[in-house]
Structures are given as structure tokens and as C-alpha cells.
């Protein structure tokens, strides 16, 4: 059967000399094969596995350092939850659950963006550099679908990275410090079970914030066939935006900067939870995803993959 006839089959009468009547094939069901393959690729890379291990070491180092210095008699500092990322480090010795919150605050400015930069930089550029991008698009995989799957893989890695930091913080906190009801920034308390739910929500919010950087990285990955270049561009972008966010003379543009909303999860430690800043942060992140996702789609749509 020729390619032009691939979407048609002949009615039974055609074999006996009758008139051939094209019969439409039943539509193919939605398949997750490509997504599952992408997730195996992302989480199967040794580089990404090493990043997750390194991220898990951060809360361990924080907890061990606090444990060793617990008897030094030095001043303890607690955060006041001003919306820019409360400092929980002074409360770790009294409640190990604060290790998770502190680790997420520490890793969010640099380590988590670096992990997302590595995953996103390799998404398209890595396929192009080894020649598999052309093979993916020669088979009937649309470029839009390919981009969506690549983006989903990066976001899944961001979620895994944030959850790794949170889970490692909880485990080492339980191991080295007493654990009990958590005193919230609003003055109330939460039981251990409810506090663990708040840790999960904080990790998911952090991962959602990183989705905007993932879209930037995906766009950068479509611009080159050198994965290291795309990773570097994404990581440098995150650093530059954070520097701009720290300059008070340009405070007028701060609400439009992606990183300005990264540390607003302190509102999850209030009772009731305050959603105002987090909702605005999610909207800003969604805008970055739409804009840079569209740029990545436009670039991949015109990208020459013939060689």
C-alpha cells in the first residue's frame, strides 16, 4: 500500500472487482508512550541522578552543622515571615521539621535552578547533538507534541528535585532533632501530620515556580545543538534575574521578574493560608511558560533538522 493510501483501507467488494470504497480507520487512542520514554530518559541520565543526590545532601549538611553547633551557646535567629522567604534556621534545633523549610530556602536561589537548567538545556539540544531529534520527527511525532513532552519531562524533574530536598530535610530532621507541633508564622500551631502536608505544598510551589525557568531553558535548548551552551544560558539567566530583583532602583519591574515570587511560600505557614502572593506568583510563572513556550515552538517549527 502506497503512502497516499496509508490512511485508507478497501471495502471487501473491491477485491472482487467492485468499486473501491475508502473506509476511515478508527482514531488511535491517546498514547503516553512518548512521555514515558522521555521520563525514563530524563531520570535515567547519570548527570540528573547525581544532581538529585547532591540536592539531598544539602539538608543533611545543614542539619549536621546545626547539630554540631547546638551546644555552642551562640545566638539563635528566627524568621519573621516577611514574604521574602522566612529564615527558619534558628528554629531547627527545637523542631527538626524546619530542616526541610530551611533547605528549600537555601537551594532555591542556586541549586534548584541549576538542576532545572541542566535538565532543560539537554531537552532538545541533546537530541540534536546526537542526531536523534531528526529520527523523532521523521516518525509521526508532531513538533508541538514533542515540545509538550519535553517540557513535561523537565517539570517532572523539577518536582522530583524539590521533593528530594523536602523529603531529605524531613528525614534528617527526624533523625537528629526533636519533632513536634510546628509554630506557624501567624502564631498558631500545627500537628506533625499537618506540618508534613505543608512541607509537601511548599515543595510543590517551589517546583511550580521553577516551571517558568524550565520554559526559558527549553527555548534556549532549541537555539543550539550544544547542550552545555543551553544549560549555561539558562543558569546565567536565573542568576541575572535574581541580581536585578535585588536592585532597589528598578523596583518597578520586580513584580514582573520570575524570581521575585520564588520565596513567597512563607504564606503557606500561616493559618489560614494566605494565597494572594502565591497566586500572583503562579500567574507570572504561567505567563513566562506561555511566552517562552511559544518562542520555543516557533523556533522548533522553523529549525532545520535535515542534517
More confident residue, 178 or 34: 178
- Residue whose C-alpha is closest to residue 61's, from 107, 116, 94, 110: 107
Overall average pLDDT of the 172-184 stretch: 91
pLDDT of residue 75: 42
What pLDDT does residue 169 have? 96
CA separation for the pair 230, 221 (Å, rounded): 5
pLDDT reported for residue 145: 84
Residue 109 — pLDDT band, cuts 50, 70, 90? very high
Given a cut of 80, whether residue 225 has pLDDT beyond it is yes
Mean pLDDT of 105-114: 94
Q: What is the pLDDT of residue 28?
A: 46
For residue 185, the model assigns a pLDDT of: 81
What is the per-residue DSSP string for 33-85?
HHHHHHHHHHHH-HHHHHHHHHHHHHHHHHHHHHHHTTTS----------SS-
**Any idea where the domains of the chain sit in the sequence?**
46-68+76-302
Coil, helix or strand at residue 160: helix
Q: Is the pLDDT of residue 128 over 70?
A: no
Task: List, in sequence order, every residue forming a beta bridge with 305; answer none if it has no partner.
Answer: none
Asked whether the predicted pLDDT for residue 221 surpasses 70, the reply is: yes
More confident residue, 29 or 215: 215
How would residue 304 be classed by pLDDT, with cut points 50, 70 and 90? low
Asked if 119 contacts 49 with a C-beta cutoff of 8 angstroms, the reply is no
pLDDT level of residue 200 (50, 70, 90 thresholds):
very high
Report which of residues 267 and 19 the model is more confident about.
267
When pLDDT is cut at 50, 70 and 90, the band that residue 9 belongs to is: very low
Report d(CA 109, CA 123) in Å as an integer. Answer: 22
Read off the pLDDT of residues 56-107 as tens digits, 9 standing for 90 and up: 999 999 999 999 887 555 444 444 444 444 457 778 878 899 999 999 999 9
Q: What is the mean pLDDT of the chain?
A: 82
Amino acid at each position: 500500500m502506497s503512502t497516499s493510501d496509508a490512511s485508507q483501507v478497501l471495502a471487501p467488494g473491491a477485491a472482487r472487482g467492485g468499486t473501491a470504497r475508502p473506509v476511515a480507520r478508527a482514531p488511535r487512542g491517546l498514547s503516553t508512550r512518548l512521555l514515558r520514554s522521555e521520563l525514563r530518559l530524563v531520570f535515567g541520565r547519570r548527570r540528573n541522578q547525581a544532581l538529585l543526590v547532591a540536592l539531598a545532601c544539602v539538608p543533611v549538611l545543614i542539619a549536621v552543622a546545626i547539630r554540631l553547633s547546638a551546644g555552642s551557646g551562640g545566638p539563635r535567629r528566627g524568621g519573621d515571615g516577611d514574604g521574602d522567604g522566612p529564615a527558619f534556621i534558628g528554629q531547627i534545633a527545637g523542631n527538626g521539621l524546619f530542616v526541610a523549610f530551611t533547605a528549600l530556602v537555601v537551594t532555591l536561589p542556586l541549586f534548584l535552578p541549576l538542576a532545572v537548567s541542566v535538565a532543560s538545556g539537554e531537552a532538545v539540544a541533546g537530541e540534536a547533538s546526537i542526531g536523534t531529534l531528526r529520527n523523532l520527527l521523521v516518525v509521526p511525532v508532531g513538533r508541538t507534541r514533542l515540545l509538550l513532552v519535553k517540557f513535561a519531562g523537565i517539570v517532572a524533574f523539577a518536582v522530583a528535585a524539590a521533593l528530594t530536598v523536602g523529603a531529605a530535610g524531613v528525614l534528617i530532621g527526624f533523625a537528629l532533632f526533636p519533632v513536634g507541633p510546628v509554630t506557624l508564622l501567624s502564631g498558631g500551631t500545627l500537628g506533625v501530620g499537618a506540618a508534613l502536608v505543608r512541607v509537601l505544598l511548599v515543595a510543590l510551589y517551589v517546583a511550580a515556580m521553577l516551571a517558568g525557568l524550565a520554559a526559558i531553558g527549553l527555548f534556549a535548548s532549541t537555539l543550539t545543538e550544544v547542550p552545555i551552551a543551553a544549560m549555561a544560558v539558562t543558569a546565567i539567566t536565573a542568576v541575572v534575574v535574581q541580581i536585578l530583583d535585588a536592585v532597589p532602583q528598578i523596583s518597578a519591574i520586580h513584580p514582573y521578574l520570575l524570581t521575585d515570587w520564588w520565596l513567597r511560600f512563607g504564606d503557606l505557614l500561616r493559618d489560614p493560608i494566605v494565597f494572594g502572593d502565591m497566586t500572583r506568583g503562579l500567574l507570572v510563572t504561567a505567563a513566562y511558560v506561555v511566552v517562552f513556550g511559544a518562542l520555543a515552538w516557533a523556533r522548533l517549527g522553523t529549525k532545520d533538522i535535515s542534517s
